[in-house]
Structure 1
Amino acid sequence: MTTTGRAPRLPRAVRPLRHRSYRWLAGTLACSVLAEGLWVVALVWQVVALGGGPTQLSLVSGALAVGVLVTALPGGVIADRVSPRRVLVLVAVLQTAAVAAVAVLSSTGLLGMVALGAAALAIGIAGGLMFPAYSALVPRLVPPDELQAVNGLEGVLRPALLNALGPAVAGVVVAAAGPAPAMAAVAVASAGALGCAVGLPRLAAVERASAEAASPLGDLREGFRYMVRTRWLLVTLLFASAMILVVLGPMEVLVPFAVKDRAGGGPGEHALVLAMFGLGGALGSFLAGSVRLPRRYLTAMIAMWSVGCVPMVVFGLADSLVPMALAAVAVGVLFNAPQVFWGTLLQRRVPPHLLGRVSSLDFFVSLSFMPVSMALAGPVSAVAGLTPVFLVAGLAPLLIGAVALGLGRLGPDELAHPMDAADPAGPGETEPTGPTDDAGVSSSGS
């Protein structure tokens, strides 16, 4: 047998990891998402330990959501103007400090709901800054033909850490030692994100295509105009906003109480349900990152997200853990697979100098009803009960999706801009340019 001396070709799903700079970015993401997964369970049982219930959890979760929304739009402008590395370092510092303060106050018995809400607000502020900076940095660290693999890999990391490992570890820690040590674990994971962010390359801001937007407010107007005049972007974001209004609050706030009150579970059972959601999400993301984008990619995304909400009705009807766990797997698969397509779509069709702002608008518009949904979920369930709330969360998105597909007229656009072609950019759309070095860093921005 003859050998060529060439290294074996890596599987498509993990190929982006050969770029050293992207490995630092993936490490930053992994630690941040792990911290978030730990926080989800630690927060629930910290609220319970302070004598709170669904309403108090809604308020604290709503504070985090408000923090995200307050900084999401400025975060996009910042991401397109300054080094994304600097933003990610700042974010990790803020998150680490906020959670460490909660851990210390909890362990000394001095923690109250107000302090917990303030920490949640700080974490949300950091999250609003992180998302656009992270999204703008990805295409600069890997070649364009590996972006779908990146989104698939990250789609595996997110549910595996956010919904599986993080909640599982937090559930064990809470059950064994209480919420304070679980909060300390969140702080350790956030510190890990800080260490990885420091290792990222120092890149300048992307060169602008024009001098049209000379001020931060002008930057924001430029991004907003692009969103409004780009039909596929606007329709998808409006659909996501409406879906999140009816789904996110029940998912984030009421699932632990469905597990607790209907299935008789505790921290371990709650962590198990989240882990099953993570398992489904990892599976869906891996599959989506390993195949070609669907020809009708916009239609496929909205249809999968709409149908993916249906299993939520199980949390309002079942009185045992097994159906809830199976429903969580189904939701995870159908929520995360289209998310891989969406991330790739943004990175390949949005001009590079607008990507930070468009990512922040994506974050802001699609999550604009997040604090409302979280704040209403607890009080509405207290009046109407868990079952009606979960029925609406599971079935209303079918109608919302049908309206989006019927009125949005996305078919001509997705046919005119095939994403499985060698050059998917259509008229007026810009692809990332510039050769990459062995570390995957665009030479045009170094």
Structure 2
Amino acid sequence: MSTDLERQSEARAPGGWRVLAPFRFREYRLLIAAVSLSIFAEGMWAVVMALQVMELDHDPAALSLVAACLGAGLVGFVLVGGIAADRFPQRAIILVVEAVNLVAVTAVAVLGALDLLRIWHMAVAAGVLGIAAAFFFPAYSAYLPRILPAEQLLAANGVEGVMRPVLQRAVGPAVAGLLVGATFPTLGSATVAVLFALALVLLVATRPVSNGFVVEPARVKTRVLTDLADGVRFMVKTPWLLWTLLFASMFVLVVIGPLEVLLPFIATERFEDGARSYGLVLAAFGMGGALGALGVSSRRLPRRYLTVMMLMWGAGSLPLIVIGWTSSFWLMLVASFLVGVTDGAGMVIWGTLLQRRVPPAMLGRVSSLDFFVSLAFMPVSMAIAGPLSKVVSMQTIFAVAGILPIILALIALTVARMPRDEIAHPLS
């Protein structure tokens, strides 16, 4: 193995696309390959889960229940996941998460094949997958700075920012829609399980990192609540972080439920071959996210990085109005694509911002707080979307989801004085 100095020199070597630079490192190549398979599986699972639930019980309330269990598992354990990421080897956490994903989806596939699958089984599996995700995200965020130098983090986040929407929101849903539409949901579950198994094999092939690019101070054995309190204090005392998370929590409340619960029913009611149409609408979102992420990661971080990020997320929600009202399949595809572009670009900036401006020893906890605060209302949004659609039109729900985020983004920018902060803290 090369020394840290040699590896850093290699990382700074010119040539090639900026976004491809992290692929010079073996551990990153294996990690991103495994993550790519995993997020492809997650993309398929989003459609398989929805169509499987609709086959068992064609009621928005049933899908709300299952989706809410996934969200509750994520939100309920993400703080624990952040503390674990700062206390235990991140590689080991990622391995365990992938094994849990494999077991949960395999159980659904087996029960479906035996014709024993029920809604409560889907709810339990969704909850387990949510808990696993709660441990994955903080561990992955804290692991990247250990295997890559700081100047490669924007590119690495860009790679994930491209892979995630392409595979999770585009290829995965499209493949699942075509597969389930032509066969049955159980075959989709079995395919997802195979993908998780392949990802686990790649993760096992990675080597433990003893000396990464981050020099960590000696850790003191502190209490869990003390660790958590340190992260909360940092969040509260950092206005750009606090107000971005508050914006994200409200964004999730008004947007996630309609997209995850109501969109499958809109697609099946308005278009022929609903499973295929739903998968393609999600695919358009994913392709947009990939292009947005690629565009940001291929260039330098914007000088007005906070302003750009917030306006992308706020104004980028406006096409949701079209999704709620149109009966044109192609217009819905374009609207979904535009939402994806702004979402993908904003997420790359946000991930890099956390890794550059948060102290390394606290990154796992802050990442978990990021997910907890920003996703706290995700299960609520999923739980109420189905029942709410019975008393309020889906068109009205999507109109609110499209308009409210831009108002919330402007409030966050103003109260946290983000334009002043980004000039005072430039990120080259």
Q: Is the 8 A contact 1:301 1:338 kept in 2?
A: yes
Aligned length: 414
Deviation at 1:377, TM superposition (A): 0.8
2:208 match: 202
Give how far 1:141 is off: 1.1
Q: Within 1, Cα distance between the matches of 2:69 and 2:196?
A: 19
Q: Which residue of 2 aligns with 1:75?
A: 81
The residue number in structure 1 matching 2:10 is none
Name which of 193, 204, 227 aligns with 2:235: 227
* 2:7 match: none
Change in Cα spacing, 1:64 to 1:343, as seen in structure 2 (3 Å) is: same
Aligned to 1:141: 147
Partner Cα separation in structure 1 for residue 344 and residue 219 of structure 2: 37
Aligned 1:45-444 pairs, distance under 5 A = 45-203=51-209, 209=217, 214-420=222-428
Q: Which residue of structure 2 aligns with residue 43 of structure 1? A: 49
* Alignment partners' CA distance in 2, 1:339 and 1:329: 15
- Listed one character per residue, the Cα deviations across residues 279-310 of structure 1 (whole Å, up to 9, x for unaligned) are 10110000010111111111111111001110
Is the alpha carbon distance of 1:245 and 1:213 closer, same or farther for their aligned partners in structure 2, counting shifts above 3 Å? farther
Alpha-carbon contact 1:152-1:340 (below 8 Å) kept = yes
Identity of aligned residues (%): 48
TM-score normalized with structure 1 length: 0.90
Report the aligned-residue RMSD.
Answer: 1.6
Deviations 1:147-174 (A, max 9, x none): 1111111111001100111112111210
**Cα distance, 1:140–1:211 mapped onto 2, change above 3 Å:** closer
Structure-to-structure mapping, 1:20-35, within 5 angstroms: 20-35=26-41
SS in 1 for 2:209: coil
Residues 298-327 of structure 1: CA deviation (Å, up to 9, x unaligned): 111111100111000112210121111000
**Matched residue SS, 1:309:** coil
Deviation at 1:207, TM superposition (A): 6.7
Residue 62 of structure 1, CA deviation: 0.4
CA–CA distance in structure 2, aligned partners of residues 10 and 60 of structure 1? 45
SS of the residue aligned with 2:319? helix
How far apart are residue 100 of structure 1 and its match? 0.2
CA contact (8 A) 1:207 1:353 kept: no
CA deviation map 1:313-343 (0-9, x unaligned): 1122101211110001100001110111111
> Aligned partners of 2:210 and 2:133: how far apart in 1?
22
What SS does the aligned partner of 1:252 have? helix
Is there any run of 5+ residues in structure 1 with no aligned partner, and where? 1-6, 421-446
